[in-house]
Amino acid sequence: MFGSNLLPNLGEVVAMILFGIGFANLLLQKNLIKKIIGLNIMDTAVYLFLAIKGYIEGRSAPIVVDGVQEVEAYINPIPSGLVLTGIVVSVSVTALMLSLTVRLYKRYHTLDLDEISSRLKKEGI
């Protein structure tokens, strides 16, 4: 039946919708800060997707505390590792984008990228 896969995969669907929202914001917003917010929504959606994919119902984090060593007791830890790596990358990229935005704002006193472009054309360096 159409849509029967929807409920078991609700988390993935939400992640995809968030990814789309973030992507559209990064692409279409004029305001640089809103663009950066879009970037963060997009990246976070990917991490949500990974975390959901790594989680297995009824199991716990793979840290041995009570002597249980069977694989069946734990979730898949690799996606969590990927999320950590991804967070490092996205933090550094966000910092770089914010610093560029500060530079542009100090020079042109606006956050609108299109207006900056049109002013640059008038300057004609």
Partner 1 sequence: MAFVQNVPFFSIMLSMFSGIVSSILPGKAAKRLNTAVILVIGAASAWLLSWLMRTGGSFTFMMGHFPAPWGNEIRAGALEAGMALFFCVIMLLSMLGGRKKLFDEVEVTKHNIYYILTDLLLSSLLALVYTNDLFTAYVFVEINTIAACGLIMIRQNGRTIEAAVRYMIMSLLGSGLLLMGICMLYDLTGHLLMSNIKESVAAIMAAGTYQIPLTITIGLVTVGLAIKSALFPFHAWLPDAYGYSTVSSAAMLSSLVSKGYIFLLIKIFYCVVGFDIIVGSKIPNVLFLFGLSGMIFGSISAIWEKDIRRMIAFSSVAQIGYIYMGFGLGTTEGMVASIFHILAHAATKSLLFVSAIGLTDVSAGSRNFFDLTGSAYRNKVAGVGFSVGAMSMVGIPLFSGFVSKLLFAEAAVMHPTHKMMPTLIVLAVSTILNAIYFLKTVVRIYVPEKREVEAEKGYFTMKAGQQRLYTITIILFILINLVLGMMSEPIIGIIETGLIHFI
Catalog residues that contact partner 1 under the rule CB under 8 A: 19, 22-23, 26-27, 32, 35, 39, 42-43, 46, 49-50, 53, 78-79, 82, 85-86, 89, 92-93, 96-97, 100-101, 103-104, 107-108, 113, 116-117, 120, 123, 125
**Minimum CB–partner distance for residue 96 and partner 1 (Å):** 6
Nearest CA among 17, 64, 60, 67 for reference residue 42:
17
Cα 76 from Cα 66, distance rounded (Å) = 18
Nearer to partner 1, 14 or 116 (CB): 116
**Residue number, 67 or 122, with CB nearest to partner 1:** 122
- Alpha-carbon gap, residue 39 to 35, rounded angstroms: 6
Contact call for residues 22 and 38 (beta carbons, < 8 A): yes
CB of 66 to partner 1, least distance (A): 25
Tokens of 76: 């898949």
Contact predicate 23/38, CB 8 Å: yes
Least distance in angstroms from the C-beta of 68 to partner 1: 21
